[in-house]
Structures are given as structure tokens and as C-alpha cells.
């Protein structure tokens, strides 16, 4: 009997070889399942990002229904809720079911009061794409960022002196480093249908802009960005980009937005100014910008060095604003965009660049649509 028991026990025990086989099988299964889990998580994040854009586009449309023009890229004059340098995104929040922060800031009287009372900057759930893990802390510096920017389309972007401008040809303008003006026309144009625009979108003049937003400027009594109406979108709302994604870590206009006092960043962040109304189509989608390590304390015009531009290619340098204003995301192969009709689409980074310019321009008169 004892021998039978011992024999039985010896048969149910695992040998070392069997144990190793089981561990190997588990490792293979984990290796097979992990990519699927990661893919499912990214799909969920991308869907949330899509929903954010759809809601923000809806806010812009609700505003247009009330005011008969889309939110302006910038309006430094007047008072809240539409003036006082409030951003288009802040204005849009008041026209969707996200009015709590909007109402609190308006009640504060101005953006400065809102900052002093700790209302701004604020990490609102609708301003960040969950696929972007950059600056997710609770400091003021972290809460100033936003992943969604207004489209200025194929707007000219004169570079800082000393830096290249490889994409200027797509605005149909020549390159005039540092010039805040409409550059001379290219003849013939790279893309027929539109003329050169005011560099950086720094104008209140509608005729000198190409997209749905412009960051604005001052000409005579006009100030801020122009008021763009549906009737100004000649190409049709379903053929014109309204909003798109960006990665704040690689946008100098977001990193260096605001001032630093006693080592603390001070400012309204995404809720104020024109720093989220500068998206451009002249740069390819997901154009790679060098990662700064560590982040430079201050912006330096064409300050490309080993810290800010480790690749040594100034067309990848964050201190070259000409290359940083394009749309980009952490989604594989492209980025999400909201069109002016409120629909949201994923556009591949391999899209034909002429088609991309025509989607960015509201009035080129060319037939184009998002590729299937």
C-alpha cells in the first residue's frame, strides 16, 4: 500500500522540464495577448480623442449659429466671454454641455482674475488626447497644454533668421525670414487656387488668410483674428479642415506660452491667447520634431543646439517655428481632424500633399475630398 501511495504521488508532481514547458507556453500566450490589449487600449484612446474633437467642433458650430461666424483665432479687445484674449476653445466650451468652467471664468471678470483665483489654467477633460502622455501632472505648467488646435490651412510661415523653410512653397509664397507680412508670390504657384497669405496668420484681414482660423494682428482699427462666416467657406464645410491634433511637447507656441514668476509658470494656458489657433497644413502630418533634453528654459529664435536640436537638422528643431506648427499625434499613421461640417476623420500622414493643402484652404475652388 505504501508503495502504491508513493507511486501515485510521484506521478502527480511536475518535473522540471514540464514546469519549464508550462512557463514557456504562458510566456508565448502573454506575448500574443499583450499587443492585442495594447491595440484595444489605443483604439479606446483614439475614440475618446475623436469624441473630444467632435464636441469642440459642435461648440464652434453652436457659436456660429448664434453669432453668424466661427470663433475667432484671437480677440484681444473687448471683454469676456468673447474678448479679453479668450481662445476659440474657451469660447466653444460655453456652447456645449461643458459650461461650468466657462461660467466661473466669465464671472471672474477677466482672464487675469481667473488665473489669480486658481481657475486657470485647468486640465479640462476635453482639451487633451489620452494618447498623449506628455505633461499630465497637476502643476500650472502641465495644465496649460492642449492637443487640439484651429486650422489656418496653407498659411505662409516665414522662418526665424538662420533657419530653413522647407515647406514655404506650399503656401505659394517666397521665403522672407522673420517678416511679418505677405511674402512675394511664387510664379508659377506650387498649388493653383490660392495666393500667398500673411505669414503666421498674423492679420485681421480675411482676404490674407486661408484656413478657418488666424492668430490675428492689427491693421488700422482692426485687431485680432478675422470673423469667418460659413459663406466664406467657398469649398464647402465638408471639404475644409476646422480643427486638428497636435503634440504639445513639440509645439514651441505652447511650451513657451506665458511667463515665469518665481519659477512658476503664470498664464491662462489653452484658455487664452492665440497659441491654439496656429495649426498649418504646409507641414506634413506627423512631421518629426527633435525632443529637447532637458527642455530649454526660454525660447531662442533659431536657437538650435545639441540640447534643442540633437539631430543637427534645423528642419527638425523646435526653435524653428516654421516646422513646428503642423498637425501631429501619437496615433499610428496619421491624426484626427474635425472638418468644418462637424464630422471627424482620421487623415493618413501619407495623404497627397496637394490634396492636404486644398483640404486646409477654405476657398481654393479645387475639387478634393478625404481619401477613403
- Which pLDDT score, from 0 to 100, does residue 13 have? 66
Write down the pTM of the prediction: 0.89
- Which grid coordinates belong to 320? 524653428
Calpha distance 243→132 (Å, rounded) = 17
Average pLDDT over residues 221-247: 95
287-340, pLDDT tens digit by residue?
999 999 899 989 999 999 999 999 999 999 999 999 999 999 999 999 999 999
User: In angstroms, what CA-CA distances link 78 with 72, 102, 124, 297, 348?
Assistant: 13, 17, 25, 33, 40
Query: For 162, which DSSP code?
Result: T
Residue of 233 and 37 predicted with greater confidence: 233
The confidence score (pLDDT) of residue 2 equals 47
Calculate the alpha carbon distances from 48 to 95, 241, 279, 335, 348 in Å: 20, 19, 21, 13, 18
Continuous segment of H or E residues that includes residue 150: strand 148-150
Amino acid at each position: 500500500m505504501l508503495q502504491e501511495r508513493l507511486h501515485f504521488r510521484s506521478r502527480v508532481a511536475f518535473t522540471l522540464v514540464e514546469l519549464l514547458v508550462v512557463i514557456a507556453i504562458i510566456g508565448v500566450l502573454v506575448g500574443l495577448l499583450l499587443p492585442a490589449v495594447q491595440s484595444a487600449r489605443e483604439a479606446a484612446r483614439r475614440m475618446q480623442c475623436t469624441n473630444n474633437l467632435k464636441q469642440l467642433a459642435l461648440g464652434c458650430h453652436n457659436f456660429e449659429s448664434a453669432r453668424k461666424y466661427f470663433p475667432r483665432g484671437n480677440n484681444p479687445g473687448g471683454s469676456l466671454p468673447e474678448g479679453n484674449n479668450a481662445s476659440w476653445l474657451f469660447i466653444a466650451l460655453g456652447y456645449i454641455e461643458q459650461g461650468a468652467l466657462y461660467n466661473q471664468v466669465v464671472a471672474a471678470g477677466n482672464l487675469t482674475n481667473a488665473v489669480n483665483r486658481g481657475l486657470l489654467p485647468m486640465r479640462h477633460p476635453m482639451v487633451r488626447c489620452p494618447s498623449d502622455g506628455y505633461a499630465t501632472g497637476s502643476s500650472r505648467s502641465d495644465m496649460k497644454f492642449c492637443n487640439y488646435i484651429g486650422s489656418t490651412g496653407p498659411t505662409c510661415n516665414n522662418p526665424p533668421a538662420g533657419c530653413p523653410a522647407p515647406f514655404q512653397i506650399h503656401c505659394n509664397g517666397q521665403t522672407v525670414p522673420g517678416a511679418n507680412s505677405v511674402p512675394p508670390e511664387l510664379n508659377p504657384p506650387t498649388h493653383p487656387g490660392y495666393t500667398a497669405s500673411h505669414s503666421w496668420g498674423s492679420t485681421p484681414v480675411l482676404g490674407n488668410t486661408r484656413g478657418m482660423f488666424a492668430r490675428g494682428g492689427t491693421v488700422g482699427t482692426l485687431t485680432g483674428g478675422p470673423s469667418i462666416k460659413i459663406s466664406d467657406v467657398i469649398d464647402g464645410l465638408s471639404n475644409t479642415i476646422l480643427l486638428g491634433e497636435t503634440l504639445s511637447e513639440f509645439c514651441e507656441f505652447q511650451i513657451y506660452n506665458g511667463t515665469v514668476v518665481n519659477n512658476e509658470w503664470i498664464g491662462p494656458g489653452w484658455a487664452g491667447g492665440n497659441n491654439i489657433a496656429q495649426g498649418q497644413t504646409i507641414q506634413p502630418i506627423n512631421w518629426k520634431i527633435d525632443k529637447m533634453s532637458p527642455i530649454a528654459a526660454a525660447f531662442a529664435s533659431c536657437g538650435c543646439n545639441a540640447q534643442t536640436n540633437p539631430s543637427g537638422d534645423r528642419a527638425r528643431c523646435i526653435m524653428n517655428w516654421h516646422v513646428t506648427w503642423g498637425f501631429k499625434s501619437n496615433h499610428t499613421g496619421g491624426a484626427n481632424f474635425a472638418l468644418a461640417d462637424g464630422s471627424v476623420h482620421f487623415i493618413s500622414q501619407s495623404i497627397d500633399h496637394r490634396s492636404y493643402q486644398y483640404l486646409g484652404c477654405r476657398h481654393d475652388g479645387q475639387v478634393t475630398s478625404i481619401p477613403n
